[in-house]
Amino acid sequence: MPAMRTSARPATSRSVVVALACVGILAAITTIAQRYGFSALVLDRGAVRSWLGGTGLYAYRDPLSHLGTALSPTAALLLVPAAFLPVPVAGWLLALAGVGALALALIAHVGPVARRYGRRRWPVVLAAGALALTIEPIRAVLGLGTLDLLVFALVTADLVALRRSKAAAGVGIGLATALSVSSAFFIMYLLITRQRRAALTALATSIGAALVAFVVTPRENAAWFGEVLWRIDRSGPVDALGNQSLAGVLARLYDSSTTPVLLWLSFGMLIAAVGMIRARAAHADGDEMAAFSLVGLTAAIVGPVSFTHELTWVLPAMVVLADAAARHLTRPRRSYREGVAMTVGAVVTYLLFVLAPMWSLRNAFAVNSYALALILLVNALPWRQPPLRGS
């Protein structure tokens, strides 16, 4: 009997933890939804309904913001069911799917780190999930009703596939690219690091998804590839406070609704080169997670419009920074000082992405704070050496 009570106690504890986690997630989504109002989903759903009604996906303009959708035709197909549901129901379903995608991504990113330090995976993943729900990029994805966490999870799936040398590596990145053009940076990364099989799989998958969308809706595909894709303001005004890309910074500095294109391209190419070179170096040293984080951060800062909900790759970057700090803190004095500096950097980065100062302050640093943090991370994010199993 005592043995039965002992074995039953962990199961009861797990049930309590799962129940508390579910209650916490529902409370978090409720609070976030009230703050953001699923506004991006409202716009995208209106565009999809317009398309299904024969008016056109990209001809639609929101009656309040006068903005059009930036969805690719493939992403629009994915949101077709939302057109037949009330906004709150569609928003909640999308938010729950986003939380599920986030949980799977955190298992992939945080799980190996916890295991390396001899910790049980689930408590660490749950703690990381609770912290993740507090940062602006994750709040914005869930509250606005976008597909960015799904894209994040698809790319992360390929990170896991590459760790395990699976033949299907590249499918996730290909689907992510069909949903969000910025994910094409990961195909470039695969080519640069000579992971040609995964790169070709990603390219073929992306083209295949685009062809399916073309068969279903050729007119919208022609509009997307012929016009919408090349407009740098397709997601909204370039100088909007939420746009934390390099183009947004330059537009605000020049007090213009557009960005100085030549200046943006020049600095953008430089940052892209630095990011890809550092990602290749991280890959060569065996830290694929840091490499993917660098690629995601580079895509966000170089893209013409990167709103806060598109900055999901700061999450694994924080994990890399915290893990590198912990490793340095257990080493000799010089390395210990580096560990303290990395710990401070990780804490400051986390607080910055929790507080989101661009919404409350109007000085030059605050309104560009995320963009400056992305540039700093692209140039200074460490990777873990020697090669780490599972990372």
- In 118-260, which ranges are continuous DSSP H helix? 121-132, 136-144, 148-163, 171-179, 184-192, 196-216, 218-226, 246-253
Mean pLDDT over 117-146 rounds to 93
Element (H, E) at 334: helix 333-355
H or E stretch at 311: none
Whether the per-residue pLDDT at 268 is higher than 60: the answer is yes
pLDDT score recorded for residue 9? 59
Across residues 172-200, what is the average pLDDT? Answer: 96
For residue 373, give the 3-state DSSP assignment. helix
- pTM for this model (two decimals): 0.93
Neighbouring C-beta atoms of residue 300, cutoff 10 Å: 28
- Tens of pLDDT along 33-47? 999 999 999 999 999
Q: How confident is the model at residue 16 (pLDDT cuts 50, 70, 90)?
A: confident
**% of the chain residues with pLDDT over 90:** 71
Answer yes or no: are the C-beta atoms of 355 and 370 closer than 8 Å: no
Residue 299 is inside which H or E element, if any? helix 288-302
Which residues lie below 8 Å from residue 176, measured CB to CB, with a gap of 6+? 151, 154, 155, 183, 186
Amino acid letter, 330 = T
Q: Range with the lowest mean pLDDT among 15-29, 39-53, 180-194?
A: 15-29
Can you give the pLDDT at residue 1? Answer: 44
Nearest one of 309, 314, 283 to 190, comparing CA atoms: 283
73 class by beta-carbon count within 10 Å (0-12 exposed, 13-18 middle, 19+ buried): buried
Please give the mean pLDDT across all residues of the chain.
90
- DSSP single-letter state for residue 68: P
